[in-house]
């Protein structure tokens, strides 16, 4: 018993440390930017909303904190959290360490939806909605198709995901071909590279709803994901309704992936690299892996977004940065000494 207690305690401590790290990253992120804000100013501005404090800062500073940095920081955290959680969940459901949030075509569908909306001259909020709906639609199609495949359901899902995903990618390419090269094509290309610039409170509020539903669902189901990794037969003899649990996990993961991609565009690598980093730190038990992946994902994307908006005079698209950081880091994880994955 004592051994189990200390084992559990060490995992809880790791998660607590991650939460502290996230908190520090958030504070630092508020201070970074073209309009620099000191720690003292930041705390006074934040607390002035709760308790009365004499204003000694400019109104502009308050606007920057509440209307620009706050939504963007929260969005970066949420998107990182969602992509990482969805990746971790899919790796379990598909018993495949290489699974990522786009395995069922959620990203390809969103990209097609966004490109179509841009082609039709839609507003930015309508682009977001279209991307979200097409993402759900794509995964829905993949799931329905997979139910008609024979044999192993998991392989059926993965193959259907590849097929439908590539169909939508072809559709996106076609839209790029016919788009107006002077304004639409750059808009589509930029969207596809991923960015969080121009996020407002409204968008944050809209995206937060599906994100919250999916994240809570995955958190609740996290122990059952362990059982799914054993394969269907073994899981069923343990007493788990594999089809129902798998479907629930897929629905939750799709909601959060679709919501993330529709606000941020395509951001790769987070959903693959962060769950693996978390596995190295805290082990494979989803009871701890799921929360650790969520927090790690939030920290990672927030750091990357800070680089994106501060490194150069122009914003660097997130998709490019996550690949630059993610790919080498993944190679390091794979070649590092110690227990294998």
Partner 1 sequence: MSIQVENLSFSYDKHEVLKNVSFSATENRILSVLGPNGVGKSTLFSCILGLLPDYSGKIEVDGEDIRNLSAREMARRIAYIPQSHYPSFNYTVFDMVLMGTTQQVSVFSTPGKKQIERAERAVERMGIAHLSHRGFSMISGGERQLAIIARALAQDAHTLIMDEPTANLDFGNQIKVLTQIKSLASDGYTIIQSTHNPDQTFLFSDLVLALKDGRVFACGKPADIVNRELIHALYGVDIELQSICNDAVRVCVPSFAAQP
Q: Which residues bind partner 1 (CB under 8 A)?
A: 1, 3-4, 7, 91-92, 95-97, 220-224, 226-227, 229-230, 233-234, 236-241, 245, 279, 283-285, 287, 339-341
Of the two residues 189 and 226, which places its CB atom closer to partner 1 in the complex? Answer: 226
Helix (H, G, I), strand (E, B) or coil at 194: coil
Burial label, 189 (beta-carbon count in 10 A; 0-12, 13-18, 19+): middle
Of the two residues 99 and 110, which places its CB atom closer to partner 1 in the complex? Answer: 99
- CA–CA separation, 341 and 339 (whole Å): 7
- CA–CA separation, 105 and 162 (whole Å): 7
CB of 329 vs partner 1, minimal distance in Å: 20
Give the number of residues written for the chain: 341
The answer to whether residues 261 and 130 touch, using CB atoms and an 8 Å cutoff, is no
Of the two residues 34 and 150, which places its CB atom closer to partner 1 in the complex? Answer: 150
- CA–CA separation, 80 and 267 (whole Å): 9
Of the two residues 151 and 181, which places its CB atom closer to partner 1 in the complex? Answer: 151
- CA–CA separation, 229 and 199 (whole Å): 37
CB of 178 vs partner 1, minimal distance in Å: 43
Of the two residues 335 and 340, which places its CB atom closer to partner 1 in the complex? Answer: 340
Give me the numbers of helices (H) and strands (E) for the chain, helices first please: 15, 0
CB of 143 vs partner 1, minimal distance in Å: 21
- CA–CA separation, 95 and 92 (whole Å): 5
- CA–CA separation, 9 and 7 (whole Å): 5
CB of 327 vs partner 1, minimal distance in Å: 22
CB of 254 vs partner 1, minimal distance in Å: 20
CB of 144 vs partner 1, minimal distance in Å: 23
Of the two residues 176 and 287, which places its CB atom closer to partner 1 in the complex? Answer: 287
């Amino acid at each position: 018993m004592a051994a189990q207690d200390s084992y559990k305690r060490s995992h809880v401590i790791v998660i607590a440390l991650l939460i502290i790290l996230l908190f520090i990253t958030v504070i630092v992120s508020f201070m970074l930017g073209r309009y620099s804000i000191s720690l003292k100013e930041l705390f006074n501005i934040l607390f002035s909303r709760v308790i009365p404090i004499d204003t000694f800062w400019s109104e502009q500073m308050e606007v920057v904190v509440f209307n620009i940095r706050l939504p963007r920081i929260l969005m970066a955290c949420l998107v990182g959290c969602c992509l990482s959680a969805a990746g971790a969940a899919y790796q379990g459901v598909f018993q495949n360490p290489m699974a990522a949030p786009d395995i069922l075509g959620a990203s390809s569908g969103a990209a097609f939806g966004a490109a179509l909306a841009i082609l039709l001259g839609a507003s930015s909020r309508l682009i977001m909605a279209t991307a979200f709906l097409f993402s759900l639609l794509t995964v829905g199609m993949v799931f329905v198709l997979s139910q008609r495949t024979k044999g192993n359901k998991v392989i059926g899902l993965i193959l259907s995901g590849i097929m439908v995903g590539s169909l939508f990618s072809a559709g996106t390419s076609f839209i790029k071909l016919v788009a107006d090269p002077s304004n639409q094509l750059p808009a589509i290309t930029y969207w596809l590279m991923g960015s969080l610039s121009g996020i407002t409170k409204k968008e944050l509020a809209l995206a937060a709803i599906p994100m919250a539903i999916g994240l809570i669902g995955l958190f609740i189901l996290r122990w059952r994901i362990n059982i799914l990794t054993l394969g269907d037969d073994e899981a069923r003899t343990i007493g788990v309704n594999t089809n129902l649990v798998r479907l629930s996990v897929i629905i939750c993961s799709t909601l959060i992936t679709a919501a993330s991609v529709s606000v941020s565009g395509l951001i790769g690598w987070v959903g693959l690299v962060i769950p693996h980093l978390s596995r190295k730190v805290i082990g494979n038990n989803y009871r701890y892996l799921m929360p650790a992946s969520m927090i790690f994902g939030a920290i990672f994307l927030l750091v990357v977004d800070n680089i994106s908006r501060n490194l150069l005079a122009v914003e660097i698209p997130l998709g490019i940065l996550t690949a630059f950081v993610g790919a080498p880091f993944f190679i390091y994880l794979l070649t590092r000494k110690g227990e294998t994955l």
